[in-house]
Chain A
Amino acid sequence: MPKVEDIKKVLVIGSGPIQIGQAAEFDFSGSQACRALREEGVEVVLVNSNPATIMTDFEMADVIYIEPLRADVVAKVVEKERPDGILAGLGGQTALNLTAELAELGVLSKYDVNVLGTPLEAIYDAEDRERFKQAMERINEPIPRGVTVTSVAEAEEVATELGLPVIIRPSYTLGGTGGGIARTLEELRGIVSYGLQISRIHQVLVEESVLGWKEIEYEVMRDANDTCITICNMENLDAMGIHTGESIVVTPTQTLTDEEHQMLRSASIRIIRALRVEGGCNVQLALKDGSYRVIEVNPRVSRSSALASKATGYPIARVAAKIAIGLHLDEIRNDVTEETPASFEPAIDYVVVKIPRWPFDKFSNADRTLTTSMKSTGEVMAIGRTFEEALQKALRSLDIDKDFGAGYENWSETELKRLLEIPTDDRIYAIYEALKRGIFSINAISELSCIDPFFINKIDKIVQMEAKLKANLRENMRKAKRMGFPDERIALLTGRSSEEISDYRREEGLLSTYKMVDTCAAEFEAKTPYFYSSYEQECELKPSTRKKVLIIGAGPIRIGQGIEFDYCTVHAVKALKEEGIEAHIINNNPETVSTDYDISDKLFFEPLTFEDVMNVIEKENYDGVMVQFGGQTSVNLAVPLKKELERLGAKTIIMGTDPENMDIAEDRGRFSKFLLRLQIPQADSGYATSLEGAKEVVSRIGFPVLVRPSYVLGGRAMEIVYDEEELIRYMREAVRVSKEKPVLIDKFLEKATEVDVDAVCDGEEVLIGAIMEHIEEAGVHSGDSACVIPPQSLSADVIETVRDYTRRIALGLQIQGLLNLQMAVKEDVVYVLEVNPRSSRTIPFVAKATGLPLAKLAAKVMLGHKLKDLEVNDVEIGHVAVKEVVLPFLKFTGVDTILGPEMKSTGEVMGIDDEFDKAFFKSELAAYNPLPLDRGSTIFISVCKEDRAVIEDVARNLKKAGLSIVGTKGTVEYLRQRGIDAKKLKKLQDGSPNVIEMMHSQEIKLVINTPTDKQSYKDGSQIRRACIELGVPYITTMQAAKAAASAILGMQGSEIEVKSINEYFTK
């Protein structure tokens, strides 16, 4: 029963699409909050633009809006729903900013909506640099000396006074976007002018440098009765100067005395009191030799609080939501012990290590230096009883082809020194390598890296253990396992096979034990089955005798394998629970819903490697394992797990599609033969292990071709090659070709329409969830393309062919569960490009657009149900849903923004409405790419020759909508010849007026620019880059331009209307 009795209906704002700096953690906190509020009998209205979230599932809230997260749109939701309160603190910076805007617009006062939890004033105090400074001064908390400035000149003055280097922090931005360290005045000018542009209030702080100090964080909670508790503290391995989201973080702190810990803890509590936060709050502090500075306060749940929740078992978001409706901490139960109240501080008896997951594999040109601005897309967390164990588990959870061990010999000594000194994603490996070579002392490494010698010593222990293992395996095996060494590396070090090592361990009884995360270091009996592995004496895991299934999760959020797979994992759990089967999850991502302690019947927080997964399977002796939901990571485990389970004679089976059949879909050669047999058209293809071979293939199939190395995820190193020159370059530079790893060459279908299909098959029948038509042509990675349900331009015949192929392929592969197909339609011929025998990125979008919970249905099919018994049918929808993507170019300066076969997007939004134009308009708005509607708005158009025919229609539509057009010479002349009025702008180097100037002065409201020939390519990329940095909406493909123009015209004279998902599906 809420303490505040008049709060009966609450609006919860989500965080929108997954972006760098704002990832799955807000789906986790938002869904926890929704559940917590509904437990207290509060009606929940939810608004979020991201369909790939659990929080937007029907059962999560009473009313769900998938609408753009813009103040004017949310205002309409408020007007329609009339909530009593609004919960701002659980949807990240997006929700906080939106709530502030709604208050400023007078929407909240007009409809009498209370801001629940932390008051707005506190948010301003924490977020506005100047007010924060004043607040800290009032309570005598030391902060780095600094001055807020609004111009570059002012910044220079301040920096000269403080002495360089200085730190620059823009106000109101996500994940520290636009911040940086300026070591010279020149650097200062660049960072400040950029920071001023992107700050919502055009303010940046220039501040004393505490570079090299220890960075410590506290997660604090406070209720309306002023009870304050800290959930845990965290120590960043990387010293001040690197965003905490970019740092390797350990919980609890390792190198602080009790006095230092209490000093910082007390400061954090004084701060949360002074700010009058009601809910959760994150405090960041810098510490050096006993003195400290307060760096930053986030008056909301955050990525760090998600980490703290998973690291301790304490559900911060859940408790924050309850505090927001008036409950006191001691009135909220600790669900883990079920006996003690939430008003305690968790005690930890293990070590937690978090490592960020960076997308540098996708952005090979990006600057890999880690700074105060975030670049990572996700993170992994690992738990161990030793630091070494937690660290090594975390490293292998990253699911990249790097680990301690071999592979760093080619770093020269100078390079190594630079890697130690300048932080990049490689630094941790550089420390290992430096220790292994013995050329730097522990203190020298510590000085170069500003990482405490304690941690360097720990890594040194790992290096030493490698030598010990080589010398005497038997004697050191237990110790090595306690330090987190995987069998595979022990095997490598000792010249044996992994199988030998694991069999040897079984003989010796050296098996992993499982300990509980229980919030209280075993002081109380815990009811929550949340486990991590270690090599200890006692195993606390009590395998149940019920029928049970292990679901393998998706690991860290990365480009190509995002929150969508966590969504599927959670749905699989729900399906199993509905069937009365025990559902266990193994995963290592602390941000997600799937690793929430009350989602599964048992949660194993573990790396997703063969060994770590096998250990759990052996312990629990499952009936089955589900590998289809966690994306490529778990699919890759299917074959090896199956082999090992058979070798050990275990009863556990891989559920669903036979791994053997999955392999047919995954292996290009086998798949091609399979399609041939079914007589389904495919693009001509071949593979080559040398340049000569590649040339031969091309002479057979002709340019252009799509080239890629075999076995890649999310289109890595995939390119479209138009001529021999490019082919030679690709074969020489882009890939290291070998006999084992050939390059795949497909005929590239130009100007083809791409189609995605998600389906479920039970071996007999096929349920087609949806056919999605891509807005962008084939050639843009399907993950980066906007798409629409239902298809808008495909003929009935083509759709029937797509359905037919889907059915035949599904049945041909004997699919039991999910499959995703990608096809291309050219001149009414349907070609099958790819089949993924697993969950896909589009499953949640399909679920939200059509109401079909495909992942759940697939899980039921995998359990043996037939589709006809589940009583589901293909659905016809009366509305239109558009998925649009968000791209992280803002975070990677110097990277061009055009789309290609390599996936670059981090997340997605959905626009849903009764017709395509409106849905597309909403999707662009939600993707922070608003299309201009005001008459007289100026649009810049510059397209390549081939696109001119299309641009004519686009321009006519735009003119009809009353917009004016400016452009480059070629495009403008072409339009004028066709009687369309357009104004010519100068080339960038020819002076005023040019497009960049007009973008600066905010005259241009939309840029349509397609990549052109090499001469004007530079101009184009400069313009596109400026769009990103100045926040001007932009379009880089003709298909999107067409859709946009049509949407702009379609929206004329009408306003955005909001409609809940519930309304779309109740007739």
Chain B
Amino acid sequence: MKAILALEDGTVVEGEGWGAEGTALGELVFATPFTGYEEALTDPSYKGQILMPTYPLIGNYGVSGAKFQSEGIKVEGFVVREKCDFPSHYKNTRSIEQFLIEEGVPGICELDTRMLTIKTRQYGTMKACLNVLEDCSDEEKANALELARAQPDISELDLIEQVTCKKPYRLKGNGKRIAVIDLGVKRNILKNLAERNLDIFVFPANTCKSEILNVEPDALLLSNGPGDPKRGRNAMDMVKKSAGEIPIYGICLGLQIIALALGCDTYKLKFGHRGANQPVKNLKSGRVYITAQNHGFAVDIDSMDGIAELTQLNANDHTVEGFENAYLGIKCVQYHPEASPGPWDTEKIFFDELATIR
């Protein structure tokens, strides 16, 4: 199989096709961890995006399923330098290619991914079209470029509704009750809550306040999720209505939506943060933690004045990584304490604290 990857700046690259035949549309984003492709592929936050690891060798340890972050692949397409056809790991059940085929996701390989990363860094995140097909004609290339450019911007897409759960469900525990607003929640967030014995109620993103408060939760957690936070209107409303009544926590997209609800602003980063090496400075202790991140939008730091207290800052580009509002009982982080993939440095700090809700 052959494959074409076309970007909105006019770049059209040919490579080898793998995974499922067909066309994928979305933003091309690069991620810098060298492990964790299984977790990343199944991370709902990648909905609407074509994922490209910067590390060139992908699939070395195969696919086990043990660390999926949702029931299946959420990325639209997968761009790698080299895929591994002979995975080696005691938990391996199938190769990365088999997994893509099963899930009907197209992939491209044997192309210069570093070149594409640099283009992305320079141009900003680009809309892309990935087409896996029999033969790459000039016509197909032109067509792919057309499709890449014609697709709607990610901010115009309602991605949350594509990844949130259809119905509420409960993961019973003996501890305090926590209501999770599922904007595309990663399994490891729920696992962390369950490990701390919390009584977990998961709600679809569009659930209304009264339905949630019906279960008498001790706290709300807005999960991670895909796309522009400004598309998360329901969740935003809910935060507006509940703030002050109940402690609210947020992770990633959850943080951004809470910030918007409080009256702050968000904006799209040039090419986002997607890595397992992002330094976050805790402004109280002065200590820096290495975090897992996966976000394309950020809270405007200047818009936070007088609304919330900035507690954590990205040491690389000084963007918002965490804030609190003690009066309203709000605590949020921009990064992923649940990692998967990524470092576990903040997992215990975040979830232990969450488990001791007043």
Q: Chain A: residues with CB nearer than 8 A to chain B?
A: 225-230, 252-259, 261-262, 265-266, 269, 289-290, 328-330, 339-341, 343-351, 385-387, 452-454, 457, 515, 520-525, 536-538, 540
Interface membership of chain B positions 64-90, coded 1 if the CB is closer than 8 angstroms to chain A and 0 otherwise: 101100000000000001101011111
Question: Complex Cα distance A387/B58, Å?
Answer: 12
Pair B88/A345 contact, Cβ less than 8 Å: no
The residue of chain B having its C-beta at the shortest distance from the C-beta of A269 within the complex is B345
The residue of chain B having its C-beta at the shortest distance from the C-beta of A232 within the complex is B34
Cβ contacts under 8 Å, A253 to chain B = 34-35
Contact of B54 among A453, A457, A522 (CB under 8 A): A522
Pair A347/B34 contact, Cβ less than 8 Å: yes
Pair A257/B64 contact, Cβ less than 8 Å: yes
19 contacts between A and B (CB under 8 A): A229-B288, A254-B57, A254-B60, A257-B36, A258-B38, A258-B276, A261-B35, A265-B344, A266-B345, A341-B316, A343-B315, A349-B55, A385-B81, A521-B55, A522-B54, A522-B114, A524-B121, A537-B112, A538-B114
Interface membership of chain B positions 318-348, coded 1 if the CB is closer than 8 angstroms to chain A and 0 otherwise: 0000000000000000000001111111000
Q: Chain B: residues with CB nearer than 8 A to chain A?
A: 13, 30, 32-36, 38-39, 54-57, 60-61, 64, 66-67, 81-82, 84, 86-91, 111-115, 117-118, 121, 275-279, 281, 285-290, 315-317, 339-345
Pair B86/A227 contact, Cβ less than 8 Å: no
- Chief secondary structure at chain B's binding surface: loop
Cβ contacts under 8 Å, A229 to chain B = 279, 288, 290
Pair B279/A330 contact, Cβ less than 8 Å: yes
Question: Complex Cα distance A1023/B313, Å?
Answer: 66
Pair A536/B275 contact, Cβ less than 8 Å: no
- Taking A349-B55, A350-B56, A522-B121 as contacts, is the C-beta distance between A258 and B114 under 8 angstroms? no
Pair B35/A257 contact, Cβ less than 8 Å: yes
Cβ contacts under 8 Å, A524 to chain B = 121, 316
Shortest Cβ gap from B311 to chain A (Å): 16
Shortest Cβ gap from A80 to chain B (Å): 39
- Taking A258-B33, A258-B341 as contacts, is the C-beta distance between A225 and B285 under 8 angstroms? yes
Pair A257/B89 contact, Cβ less than 8 Å: yes
Pair B290/A386 contact, Cβ less than 8 Å: no
Pair B316/A258 contact, Cβ less than 8 Å: no
The residue of chain B having its C-beta at the shortest distance from the C-beta of A537 within the complex is B112
Cβ contacts under 8 Å, A385 to chain B = 56, 81, 114
Contact of A343 among B66, B113, B118, B279 (CB under 8 A): B279
Contact of B115 among A225, A387, A454, A536 (CB under 8 A): A536
Cβ contacts under 8 Å, B84 to chain A = 454
Pair B315/A386 contact, Cβ less than 8 Å: no
Pair B32/A523 contact, Cβ less than 8 Å: yes
Cβ contacts under 8 Å, B342 to chain A = 258, 262
Pair A523/B275 contact, Cβ less than 8 Å: yes
Pair A387/B57 contact, Cβ less than 8 Å: yes
Pair A341/B57 contact, Cβ less than 8 Å: no
Question: Complex Cα distance A344/B278, Å?
Answer: 6
Pair B36/A258 contact, Cβ less than 8 Å: yes
Question: Complex Cα distance A457/B86, Å?
Answer: 7
Shortest Cβ gap from A476 to chain B (Å): 13
Pair B315/A341 contact, Cβ less than 8 Å: yes
Pair A347/B32 contact, Cβ less than 8 Å: yes
Shortest Cβ gap from A938 to chain B (Å): 59
Shortest Cβ gap from B338 to chain A (Å): 12
Cβ contacts under 8 Å, B289 to chain A = 227
Pair A453/B112 contact, Cβ less than 8 Å: no
Pair A520/B279 contact, Cβ less than 8 Å: no
Shortest Cβ gap from B103 to chain A (Å): 19
- Taking A521-B117, A537-B111 as contacts, is the C-beta distance between A256 and B288 under 8 angstroms? no
Contact of B316 among A265, A289, A340, A521 (CB under 8 A): A340
Question: Complex Cα distance A311/B111, Å?
Answer: 23
- Chief secondary structure at chain A's binding surface: loop
Question: Complex Cα distance A227/B316, Å?
Answer: 15
Shortest Cβ gap from A348 to chain B (Å): 6
Contact of A538 among B118, B275, B290, B343 (CB under 8 A): B118
The residue of chain B having its C-beta at the shortest distance from the C-beta of A337 within the complex is B316
Give me 7 other A-B pairs in contact (C-beta within 8 A), A252-B34, A255-B60, A538-B115 excluded: A258-B35, A328-B288, A329-B288, A330-B288, A341-B316, A347-B32, A349-B114
Shortest Cβ gap from B302 to chain A (Å): 21
Pair B279/A344 contact, Cβ less than 8 Å: yes
Shortest Cβ gap from B224 to chain A (Å): 17
Question: Complex Cα distance A729/B289, Å?
Answer: 67
Question: Complex Cα distance A497/B57, Å?
Answer: 33
Cβ contacts under 8 Å, B278 to chain A = 344
Cβ contacts under 8 Å, B290 to chain A = 229-230, 344-345
Pair B32/A521 contact, Cβ less than 8 Å: yes
Shortest Cβ gap from B213 to chain A (Å): 37
Shortest Cβ gap from B147 to chain A (Å): 22
Cβ contacts under 8 Å, B91 to chain A = 257, 290
Question: Complex Cα distance A520/B117, Å?
Answer: 11
The residue of chain B having its C-beta at the shortest distance from the C-beta of A339 within the complex is B316
Pair B315/A340 contact, Cβ less than 8 Å: yes
The residue of chain B having its C-beta at the shortest distance from the C-beta of A386 within the complex is B82
Shortest Cβ gap from B110 to chain A (Å): 9
- What 7 A-B pairs come out closest when comparing CB atoms? A258-B36, A538-B115, A537-B112, A345-B277, A347-B32, A521-B54, A258-B35
Question: Complex Cα distance A538/B60, Å?
Answer: 25
Cβ contacts under 8 Å, A289 to chain B = 90
Question: Complex Cα distance A256/B81, Å?
Answer: 19
Question: Complex Cα distance A349/B279, Å?
Answer: 19
- Taking A258-B39, A344-B290 as contacts, is the C-beta distance between A386 and B57 under 8 angstroms? yes
The residue of chain B having its C-beta at the shortest distance from the C-beta of A452 within the complex is B88
Cβ contacts under 8 Å, A349 to chain B = 32, 54-56, 113-114, 117
Question: Complex Cα distance A266/B315, Å?
Answer: 21
The residue of chain A having its C-beta at the shortest distance from the C-beta of B82 within the complex is A386
Pair A522/B118 contact, Cβ less than 8 Å: yes
Shortest Cβ gap from B24 to chain A (Å): 21
Question: Complex Cα distance A227/B343, Å?
Answer: 14
Shortest Cβ gap from B186 to chain A (Å): 13
Question: Complex Cα distance A226/B287, Å?
Answer: 7
Pair B287/A536 contact, Cβ less than 8 Å: no
Shortest Cβ gap from A56 to chain B (Å): 35
Cβ contacts under 8 Å, B66 to chain A = 259
Pair A328/B67 contact, Cβ less than 8 Å: no
The residue of chain B having its C-beta at the shortest distance from the C-beta of A387 within the complex is B57
Question: Complex Cα distance A259/B315, Å?
Answer: 25
Among A254, A269, A346, the one with the most B-chain Cβ atoms within 10 Å of its Cβ is A254
Cβ contacts under 8 Å, A525 to chain B = 121
Question: Complex Cα distance A229/B291, Å?
Answer: 10
Cβ contacts under 8 Å, A328 to chain B = 286, 288
- Taking A330-B288, A346-B277, A525-B121 as contacts, is the C-beta distance between A520 and B112 under 8 angstroms? no
Cβ contacts under 8 Å, A537 to chain B = 13, 111-112, 115
Pair A343/B114 contact, Cβ less than 8 Å: no
Cβ contacts under 8 Å, B340 to chain A = 258
- Taking A345-B290, A347-B32 as contacts, is the C-beta distance between A522 and B117 under 8 angstroms? yes
Among B86, B277, B285, the one with the most A-chain Cβ atoms within 10 Å of its Cβ is B277
Among A343, A346, A351, the one with the most B-chain Cβ atoms within 10 Å of its Cβ is A343
Cβ contacts under 8 Å, A351 to chain B = 56-57
Contact of B88 among A255, A265, A290, A329 (CB under 8 A): A255
Question: Complex Cα distance A226/B290, Å?
Answer: 12
Cβ contacts under 8 Å, A329 to chain B = 288
Question: Complex Cα distance A254/B345, Å?
Answer: 22
Cβ contacts under 8 Å, B30 to chain A = 521-523
Cβ contacts under 8 Å, B54 to chain A = 347, 349, 521-523
Cβ contacts under 8 Å, B88 to chain A = 255, 452-454, 457
Pair A538/B112 contact, Cβ less than 8 Å: yes
Cβ contacts under 8 Å, A536 to chain B = 112, 114-115
Question: Complex Cα distance A98/B117, Å?
Answer: 48
Cβ contacts under 8 Å, A522 to chain B = 30, 54, 114, 117-118, 121
Cβ contacts under 8 Å, A523 to chain B = 30, 32, 54, 117, 121, 275
